[in-house]
Amino acid sequence: MADSALHLDEYLAFALAVCREAGEILVSERARGTMKVDRKAGFELVTSVDLAVHQHFETRIRRAWPDFLLVSEEGAQSADVGDKSHWIVDPIDGTANFVHGLDHVAISAALSMDGQVVLGVVHAPFQKQTFWAIRGRGAYRDGARIEVDPNPDAARALVATGFPHERSEIDRLLDRLKPVLRHFGDIRRLAAPALDICWVADGRLTAFFDRIHLWDVAAAGLIAREAGAEVAMIGNADVQSGAKDYLVAPPVHFSKLRDLLQP
């Protein structure tokens, strides 16, 4: 890890460049209006653009570092990477938003080395903003240091969440909203988990909870931690999908939200 740490700035520059290139693909493909849209499981959408961005990352990573592996939502979802260096990519965070012309969309890329995420980038091309962090160096939006909302007033808090693509447990999930609404100001459902988590890091949202995948939280979770948030799994993983319940919140609200959300 010591030798690898010397190259973190190089890896970050690479991730920033490829995420911005991917963002240009999203912008141009939406403008063309020729994307193909299909469904995966449940209500989950996948587009030809997701696949094109995945392929772009794969090509760029292989060209730069042939020994690095790639774990992507549209590729090796369950690859046994162990402690091998690998990139964790979500080609489109917020695919349904992208399809419907909404701008709350991002590309997420994280680098894991020796079993831990060492850097993360989340780029929102339609909002023209980029979030990033290197472990131990703080979190940034477009070069400006960011921090979570320190306000202890739960009555003014905004808590973001999401709903799963597979709806068999929808009643239980909706019931989880009730105690949050009783104790916190309001709930937002923005439908791009990585970008939502970055908005917690930036203080625009107070907290976030949802059942999400590794590619949703790898980069954004590091960014949130570096901005002062607590990031943790709560509850059990979904055996079928591999998704896990995560909570991201400032320390001042984390324990209360965790107690409200525990099954």
- pLDDT for 105-128, tens place per residue? 999 999 999 999 999 999 999 999
User: Which are the contacts of 262, defined by CB distance < 8 A and separation ≥ 6?
Assistant: 234, 235
Side-chain half-sphere exposure of 236, counting CA atoms within 13 A: 4
Domains 2-145 and 154-261 alike in fold: no
Residue 129: pLDDT band (50, 70, 90) is very high
The mean pLDDT of the chain is 90
Strands 158-160 and 186-188: parallel
Q: pLDDT for 219-251, tens place per residue?
A: 999 999 999 999 999 976 665 567 889 999 999
**Any idea where the domains of the chain sit in the sequence?**
2-145, 154-261
pLDDT at 44 over 80: no
Question: Which tops the pLDDT comparison, 235 or 215?
Answer: 215
- Mean of pLDDT values over 79-104: 90
- Say what the pTM is: 0.93
Specify the CATH number of the domain 2-145: 3.30.540.10
Residue 263: pLDDT band (50, 70, 90) is low
Q: Which of 162, 208, 153 is nearest to 184 (CA)?
A: 153
Residue 40: pLDDT band (50, 70, 90) is confident
- pLDDT score of 172: 76
Specify the CATH number of the domain 154-261: 3.40.190.80
